[in-house]
Amino acid sequence: MIKNDLLLKALKGESVERPPVWMMRQAGRYLPDFMKLKEKYDFFTRCRTPELATEITVMPIKQVGTDAAILFSDILVVPQAMQIDVEMKPGVGPWLPNPIRSAKQVEEVVVPDVNEELNYVYEAIKMTKQELNDEVPLIGFAGSPWTILCYAVQGQGSKTFDKAKQFCFQEPVAAHRLLQKITDTTIAYLKGKVKAGVDAVQLFDSWGGLLSPEDYQEFSWQYMQQIIDALKDEIPVIAYGKGCWFALKEMSQSGASALGVDWTCSAMNARYLSGGQITLQGNFDPARLYSKPIEIKHMVTRMIDEFGKDRYIANLGHGILPDIPVDNARAFVDAVKEYQAK
C-alpha cells in the first residue's frame, strides 16, 4: 500500500483533505544535485542508466516534497526505439539529423519490440519503485503521437512546427501511417511501464495547441484516444494538451482519469468546458515561480479555491523552468500542503 495516496484518490475522484501536488519536469534542471549529474553524464546516458534515472526521479521527493514522483526520462526515447536518430544538442535541444519528410521514410520506420529497445526504462521503474518504498506513487509518461511526429518531421524544436504541419497537410496518408506507428509503439511502451510498476501514466501533447480544433481531432486526438482506450482499464491516465482548451469536452468523455490544463485557461472555464465531473490538473504559470515565495503561496491558495480541493491535482501549466530557485519550488509545494478549505 502506498502511504501517501492523495494522487491516486484524486484520480479516482475521491474526496481528499487537500489536493495532491507535483510539478511537471520536477526531476530536473532547477535542482543543484541534478546539475552536478548533468556535468558528468550526457542527457541520454542519464535516461538510459537505471541507477541515474532512479536517483534523479527521487530527488524532488526528498528535496521539494511532492506527493508523486514522475520517472526521469524523455518523450523522445520512443522515436529512438523506432530507429529514428535523436540527439540532444547543447544550446539547441532535441536534434534529429535525418527528419522524416517522405512516404518512403515513413515506411522505413519500425514498430519495435519495446521490451528489447526500452528495457532500460522498465529497469529504472523497478529500481525507482524500490527506492520510493511505497512512500508516494510513481507516474510514467509518453508524448502524444502528434507531438512525437512534430519532432520527427521538423527535426528540432520549433515555435510553429511548420514543416510538421506541411507534411501532414501535403502527405496526409503518410502522416497518418507515421502517427499510427507511433501510437502502436506508445501503447506497447506504456503497457510495459504498467507491468514494471508505475501507478499512473500521463500523455503529454505539448504541441496540440498549434493545430486548429478540426485538425487537432484528425492528427492528434484520435491517436490519444486509442492510447487511452488501451490503458484506461489497467491504470489511471492523465491527458495533458498544452493550449488544447477547445478539446476539453471531448477529452472529458475519453475515459481518462484526469485532464491537464495550462495557465491560459481559467479554472472556471476548465470546469465548464470539461463538464465539471472529471479531475483537473494544473494550471500555475511556471514563470510565476519567479515571484516571491509569499506571493506564490497566496496565488496557489487562490488557484485551489478556484478549482476546488476535490477532483483536482495542483501542478504547473507546463514544465518547471531551469532557473527557478529551489526555495520557490518548495514554496509552491508547501502552499498546497498547508491549504485549508474555507
Is there a binding annotation on residue 28?
yes
22 is a domain residue: yes
Asked if the structure places residue 215 within a domain, the reply is yes
| Any domain includes 72 | yes
- Kindly state whether residue 342 falls inside one of the protein's structural domains: no
51-60 pLDDT, tens digit each? 999 999 999 9
Is 0.95 topped by the overall pTM?
yes
Q: Would you give the distance in Å from CA 197 to the centre of its chain?
A: 17
206 known member of a binding site: yes
74 marked as part of a ligand binding site: yes
Q: Is 151 annotated as a binding residue?
A: yes
* Three-state secondary structure call for residue 68: coil
Confidence at residue 342, expressed as pLDDT on a 0 to 100 scale = 66
Residue 176 marked as a ligand binder:
no
Q: What domain range includes position 254?
A: 6-337
Does 53 fall in a domain? Answer: yes
Compute, in degrees rounded to 10, the torsion defined by CA atoms 9, 14, 18, 22: 30
- Inform me whether the pLDDT recorded for 91 exceeds 90: no
Q: Which residues pair with 260 in a beta bridge?
A: 240, 281
Residue 1 lies in a domain: no
ω into residue 115 within 30 of 0, thus cis? no
Q: Do residues 236 and 12 lie in contact, with contact meaning Cβ atoms separated by under 8 Å? A: yes
Helix, strand, or coil here: 252? helix
Q: Is residue 209 part of a domain?
A: yes
Dump pLDDT digits (tens) for 196-220: 999 999 999 999 999 999 999 999 9
Residue 80 labelled as part of a binding site: no
How many domains are there within the chain? 1
Is 331 labelled a binding residue? no
Q: What is the CATH number of the domain that holds 222?
A: 3.20.20.210
Percentage, residues of the chain above pLDDT 90: 98
137-190 tens-digit pLDDT: 999 999 999 999 999 999 999 999 999 999 999 999 999 999 999 999 999 999
Decide if 114 is inside a domain: yes
